[in-house]
Amino acid sequence: MTGGIPPAPASTGGGQCDHFIAMYSRYYDEVLRYAWRRVGPDYAAEVVSETFTVAWRRAGELPENELPWLYTVARNIIANRRRADERREHLLTALAETAQTEPDHADAVTRRQAAMEALQGLSPDDRELVRLVAWEGLDARGAAAVLGCSTAAVHVRLHRLRKRLSRALGPPVRTQARR
């Protein structure tokens, strides 16, 4: 998440906040165990964090039976993560196939390393924008909605990022077009 703590949900008073705190205290361990069993320790805390962020944003709309709803949210977050991982794996496979057509394997390794270093050299917000567009497949409008900025701002940032990455990586390697 790049935006920090989300704004408080619209409420008619402090009751929703108190209710959320009680729900969080009551169900945190259960949701953590649920996530842990499905994704392991490395990602479980992130799933729980995202789950309760969704619950916070929807505090006025929560169903009476909250735990199954929280499990559903966590399940959807895990499914989204797995789909993103599959897309990333597909991209890496495609990159590996492209690398196999290059005459010198060392050149491919060097270019991949340079690309990873160039990405790491970006600010966290710029890396998130690259991930949203390149890995998640969002268009500028979708990325703008996720980042909370205008579509025009996303277009400008993408243009600048492409120029910066092009300078860092040099000219692209040309390969035969696939059919």
The CATH number linked to 137 is 1.10.10.10
Q: Tell whether 28 and 77 lie within a shared domain.
A: yes
Range of the domain at 165: 103-169
Residue 75 falls inside a structural domain: yes
Please answer whether residues 123 and 129 qualify as being in contact, where contact means their C-beta atoms are separated by less than 8 angstroms.
no
Q: What is the domain count for the chain? A: 2
SS3 58: coil
Residue 178 falls inside a structural domain: no
Residue 7 falls inside a structural domain: no
Residue 6 carries which side chain, given as an amino acid letter? Answer: P
The CATH number linked to 53 is 1.10.1740.10
Residue 87 falls inside a structural domain: no
Where residue 3 falls among pLDDT bands split at 50, 70, 90? very low
pLDDT digits (tens, 9 = 90+) for 113-155: 877 887 788 888 888 888 888 878 889 898 888 889 999 999 9
Residue 114 falls inside a structural domain: yes
Residue 10 falls inside a structural domain: no
SS3 147: helix
pLDDT at 77 over 90: yes
Radius of gyration of the chain from Cα atoms?
Answer: 21
Residue 110 falls inside a structural domain: yes
Q: Tell whether 33 and 78 lie within a shared domain.
A: yes
pLDDT digits (tens, 9 = 90+) for 35-73: 999 999 999 999 999 999 999 998 888 888 999 999 999
Phi, psi of 20 (to 5 degrees): -60, -45
Overall pTM surpassing 0.75 (yes/no): no
